[in-house]
Chains A and B, each alone.
Chain A
Amino acid sequence: AQKITQTQPGMFVQEKEAVTLDCTYDTSDPSYGLFWYKQPSSGEMIFLIYQGSYDQQNATEGRYSLNFQKARKSANLVISASQLGDSAMYFCAMREGHISNFGNEKLTFGTGTRLTIIP
Protein backbone atom coordinates (compact mmCIF):
# COMPACT_ATOMS: atom_id res chain seq x y z
CA ALA A 1 0.00 0.00 0.00
CA GLN A 2 1.15 3.52 -0.70
CA LYS A 3 2.27 5.33 2.41
CA ILE A 4 1.52 8.76 0.94
CA THR A 5 -1.24 9.31 -1.61
CA GLN A 6 -1.77 12.49 -3.54
CA THR A 7 -4.77 11.94 -5.76
CA GLN A 8 -4.62 15.19 -7.74
CA PRO A 9 -1.96 14.99 -10.44
CA GLY A 10 -2.76 18.53 -11.57
CA MET A 11 -4.84 21.52 -10.53
CA PHE A 12 -5.66 24.85 -12.12
CA VAL A 13 -6.72 27.65 -9.81
CA GLN A 14 -7.56 31.29 -10.39
CA GLU A 15 -5.17 33.79 -8.85
CA LYS A 16 -6.21 35.04 -5.39
CA GLU A 17 -8.39 32.01 -4.73
CA ALA A 18 -7.61 29.55 -1.94
CA VAL A 19 -6.22 26.16 -2.89
CA THR A 20 -6.44 22.83 -1.13
CA LEU A 21 -4.00 20.10 -2.08
CA ASP A 22 -4.97 16.66 -0.86
CA CYS A 23 -2.74 14.20 0.95
CA THR A 24 -3.63 10.99 2.73
CA TYR A 25 -1.17 8.78 4.53
CA ASP A 26 -0.92 5.29 5.89
CA THR A 27 1.03 4.34 9.00
CA SER A 28 0.61 2.22 12.09
CA ASP A 29 3.21 4.21 14.00
CA PRO A 30 1.56 6.50 16.60
CA SER A 31 4.40 9.00 16.20
CA TYR A 32 4.93 10.53 12.80
CA GLY A 33 5.47 13.80 11.03
CA LEU A 34 3.95 15.19 7.89
CA PHE A 35 5.68 17.63 5.57
CA TRP A 36 4.87 19.63 2.50
CA TYR A 37 7.46 20.67 -0.06
CA LYS A 38 7.21 22.93 -3.10
CA GLN A 39 9.23 22.26 -6.24
CA PRO A 40 9.10 25.11 -8.76
CA SER A 41 10.16 24.64 -12.37
CA SER A 42 13.71 25.60 -11.39
CA GLY A 43 13.91 22.25 -9.60
CA GLU A 44 14.80 23.02 -6.01
CA MET A 45 12.78 21.51 -3.16
CA ILE A 46 11.46 24.10 -0.73
CA PHE A 47 10.27 23.07 2.72
CA LEU A 48 6.89 24.67 3.46
CA ILE A 49 5.31 23.27 6.59
CA TYR A 50 5.46 20.50 9.17
CA GLN A 51 2.80 18.81 11.32
CA GLY A 52 3.58 16.36 14.10
CA SER A 53 1.11 13.62 14.91
CA TYR A 54 0.77 14.80 18.51
CA ASP A 55 0.42 18.48 17.66
CA GLN A 56 -2.88 19.78 18.95
CA GLN A 57 -3.12 22.68 16.55
CA ASN A 58 -2.99 22.67 12.79
CA ALA A 59 0.34 24.00 11.55
CA THR A 60 0.43 27.40 9.84
CA GLU A 61 3.22 29.25 8.07
CA GLY A 62 2.19 32.49 6.47
CA ARG A 63 -0.23 31.71 3.65
CA TYR A 64 0.24 27.97 4.16
CA SER A 65 -1.77 25.92 6.60
CA LEU A 66 -2.09 22.22 7.09
CA ASN A 67 -5.58 20.79 7.57
CA PHE A 68 -4.69 17.81 9.75
CA GLN A 69 -7.47 15.26 10.24
CA LYS A 70 -5.87 12.45 12.17
CA ALA A 71 -8.83 10.06 12.20
CA ARG A 72 -9.09 10.31 8.43
CA LYS A 73 -5.29 10.16 8.02
CA SER A 74 -5.45 13.29 5.98
CA ALA A 75 -2.98 16.20 5.84
CA ASN A 76 -4.17 18.61 3.20
CA LEU A 77 -2.20 21.75 2.39
CA VAL A 78 -4.20 24.94 2.13
CA ILE A 79 -2.74 27.96 0.35
CA SER A 80 -4.69 31.14 0.94
CA ALA A 81 -4.87 33.96 -1.59
CA SER A 82 -2.91 32.14 -4.28
CA GLN A 83 -0.28 33.97 -6.30
CA LEU A 84 1.28 33.30 -9.68
CA GLY A 85 4.49 32.32 -7.91
CA ASP A 86 2.67 29.44 -6.25
CA SER A 87 2.66 27.55 -9.55
CA ALA A 88 4.82 24.49 -8.87
CA MET A 89 4.80 20.81 -7.97
CA TYR A 90 3.79 20.15 -4.38
CA PHE A 91 4.88 17.05 -2.52
CA CYS A 92 3.49 15.63 0.68
CA ALA A 93 5.88 13.51 2.74
CA MET A 94 5.83 11.50 5.95
CA ARG A 95 8.41 10.58 8.54
CA GLU A 96 7.52 7.73 10.87
CA GLY A 97 8.81 8.08 14.42
CA HIS A 98 9.02 11.24 16.53
CA ILE A 99 11.04 14.05 14.99
CA SER A 100 13.04 14.68 18.17
CA ASN A 101 14.19 11.08 18.38
CA PHE A 102 17.20 9.61 16.70
CA GLY A 103 14.96 6.97 15.12
CA ASN A 104 13.88 6.65 11.54
CA GLU A 105 14.70 9.75 9.54
CA LYS A 106 13.42 8.46 6.24
CA LEU A 107 10.94 10.70 4.44
CA THR A 108 8.51 8.97 2.11
CA PHE A 109 7.18 11.24 -0.59
CA GLY A 110 3.95 11.22 -2.54
CA THR A 111 3.84 11.52 -6.30
CA GLY A 112 3.06 15.21 -6.17
CA THR A 113 0.42 17.62 -7.45
CA ARG A 114 1.22 20.12 -10.18
CA LEU A 115 -0.48 23.40 -9.29
CA THR A 116 -0.97 26.05 -11.93
CA ILE A 117 -2.23 29.49 -10.93
CA ILE A 118 -4.14 31.25 -13.69
CA PRO A 119 -3.95 35.06 -13.87
Chain B
Amino acid sequence: DAGVIQSPRHEVTEMGQEVTLRCKPISGHDYLFWYRQTMMRGLELLIYFNNNVPIDDSGMPEDRFSAKMPNASFSTLKIQPSEPRDSAVYFCASRMMGGQFFGPGTRLTVL
Protein backbone atom coordinates (compact mmCIF):
# COMPACT_ATOMS: atom_id res chain seq x y z
CA ASP B 1 0.00 0.00 0.00
CA ALA B 2 1.37 3.41 -0.91
CA GLY B 3 2.10 5.80 1.92
CA VAL B 4 1.08 9.43 2.12
CA ILE B 5 1.92 11.14 -1.15
CA GLN B 6 2.88 14.80 -1.36
CA SER B 7 3.64 17.00 -4.30
CA PRO B 8 5.70 18.79 -5.22
CA ARG B 9 8.70 17.56 -3.25
CA HIS B 10 10.49 20.87 -3.73
CA GLU B 11 9.10 24.28 -4.56
CA VAL B 12 11.01 27.49 -5.09
CA THR B 13 8.96 30.61 -5.65
CA GLU B 14 9.18 34.34 -5.37
CA MET B 15 7.63 36.45 -2.67
CA GLY B 16 4.05 37.33 -3.48
CA GLN B 17 3.36 34.26 -5.58
CA GLU B 18 0.66 31.74 -4.79
CA VAL B 19 1.84 28.32 -3.66
CA THR B 20 -0.28 25.16 -3.60
CA LEU B 21 0.89 22.02 -1.83
CA ARG B 22 -0.90 18.75 -2.43
CA CYS B 23 -1.45 15.63 -0.38
CA LYS B 24 -2.98 12.21 -0.95
CA PRO B 25 -3.53 10.39 2.37
CA ILE B 26 -3.33 6.66 2.89
CA SER B 27 -6.49 5.00 1.63
CA GLY B 28 -8.98 4.41 4.44
CA HIS B 29 -7.44 6.92 6.82
CA ASP B 30 -10.04 9.37 8.08
CA TYR B 31 -7.75 11.97 9.61
CA LEU B 32 -5.46 14.27 7.66
CA PHE B 33 -2.96 16.69 9.15
CA TRP B 34 -0.80 19.49 7.78
CA TYR B 35 2.42 20.32 9.65
CA ARG B 36 5.21 22.81 9.13
CA GLN B 37 8.80 22.20 10.23
CA THR B 38 11.42 24.92 10.65
CA MET B 39 14.68 25.06 12.56
CA MET B 40 13.39 27.87 14.75
CA ARG B 41 9.95 26.51 15.63
CA GLY B 42 10.30 22.77 15.13
CA LEU B 43 7.23 20.81 14.05
CA GLU B 44 3.95 22.68 14.26
CA LEU B 45 0.47 21.44 13.47
CA LEU B 46 -1.28 23.82 11.11
CA ILE B 47 -4.67 22.18 10.61
CA TYR B 48 -6.33 18.79 10.66
CA PHE B 49 -9.38 17.23 9.06
CA ASN B 50 -11.64 14.37 10.05
CA ASN B 51 -13.71 12.82 7.27
CA ASN B 52 -12.84 15.80 5.06
CA VAL B 53 -14.10 18.34 7.60
CA PRO B 54 -11.63 20.83 9.14
CA ILE B 55 -11.60 20.27 12.89
CA ASP B 56 -8.85 22.51 14.23
CA ASP B 57 -7.19 25.25 12.23
CA SER B 58 -5.81 27.16 15.20
CA GLY B 59 -2.27 26.53 14.02
CA MET B 60 -2.74 28.24 10.67
CA PRO B 61 -0.45 31.25 10.96
CA GLU B 62 -2.59 33.83 9.22
CA ASP B 63 -5.18 34.43 6.55
CA ARG B 64 -2.63 33.90 3.82
CA PHE B 65 -2.85 30.20 4.58
CA SER B 66 -5.83 28.08 3.61
CA ALA B 67 -6.44 24.34 3.42
CA LYS B 68 -9.11 22.27 1.76
CA MET B 69 -10.06 18.64 1.59
CA PRO B 70 -12.60 18.21 -1.20
CA ASN B 71 -12.66 14.42 -0.86
CA ALA B 72 -11.18 11.60 1.18
CA SER B 73 -8.18 11.18 -1.09
CA PHE B 74 -6.97 14.71 -1.65
CA SER B 75 -6.06 17.84 0.28
CA THR B 76 -4.37 21.12 -0.56
CA LEU B 77 -2.56 23.73 1.46
CA LYS B 78 -2.43 27.11 -0.22
CA ILE B 79 -0.34 30.15 0.64
CA GLN B 80 -1.32 33.38 -1.05
CA PRO B 81 0.66 35.59 -1.14
CA SER B 82 3.80 33.76 -0.07
CA GLU B 83 6.51 35.42 2.02
CA PRO B 84 10.13 34.44 2.72
CA ARG B 85 9.23 33.51 6.31
CA ASP B 86 6.96 30.78 4.93
CA SER B 87 10.06 28.86 3.84
CA ALA B 88 9.90 25.50 5.59
CA VAL B 89 9.22 21.83 5.07
CA TYR B 90 5.49 21.14 4.97
CA PHE B 91 4.35 17.67 5.94
CA CYS B 92 1.04 16.00 5.39
CA ALA B 93 0.12 13.07 7.63
CA SER B 94 -2.84 10.74 7.92
CA ARG B 95 -4.13 8.22 10.42
CA MET B 96 -7.00 5.94 11.21
CA MET B 97 -6.02 4.42 14.53
CA GLY B 98 -2.60 4.59 16.15
CA GLY B 99 0.21 6.80 15.01
CA GLN B 100 0.12 9.41 12.30
CA PHE B 101 1.90 8.44 9.10
CA PHE B 102 3.76 11.24 7.44
CA GLY B 103 4.39 11.98 3.81
CA PRO B 104 7.87 12.81 2.52
CA GLY B 105 7.26 16.54 2.87
CA THR B 106 7.44 19.51 0.52
CA ARG B 107 10.46 21.76 0.93
CA LEU B 108 9.24 25.29 0.19
CA THR B 109 11.65 28.13 -0.44
CA VAL B 110 10.26 31.62 -0.91
CA LEU B 111 12.80 34.06 -2.27
Interface residues of A (CB under 8 A from B): 35, 37, 43-47, 49-50, 91, 99-100, 102, 104-107, 109-112
Contact = CB atoms under 8 A, between A and B. Distances in A.
Contact of A105 (B33, B43, B101, B103): B33
A99 B42 contact: no
Contacts of A37: 99, 102
Interface of B is mostly: strand
Nearest to A110: B42
A45 B93 contact: yes
B100 interface: yes
Interface stretch (B12-20, B48-56, B77-85): B48-56
A52 to B, nearest CB: 10
Nearest to B3: A44
Contacts of B102: 37, 44-47
A45 B91 contact: yes
A47 B99 contact: yes
B25 to A, nearest CB: 14
With a 10 A CB-CB cut-off, give which of B55, B93, B99 has the most chain A CB atoms: B99
A116 B33 CA distance: 29
Contacts of A107: 33, 45, 100
B36 to A, nearest CB: 11
Contacts of B50: 102, 105
A105 B104 contact: no
A82 B79 CA distance: 41
A117 to B, nearest CB: 22
B2 interface: no
B45 A106 contact: yes
Given A99-B98, A105-B48, A43 B105 contact: yes
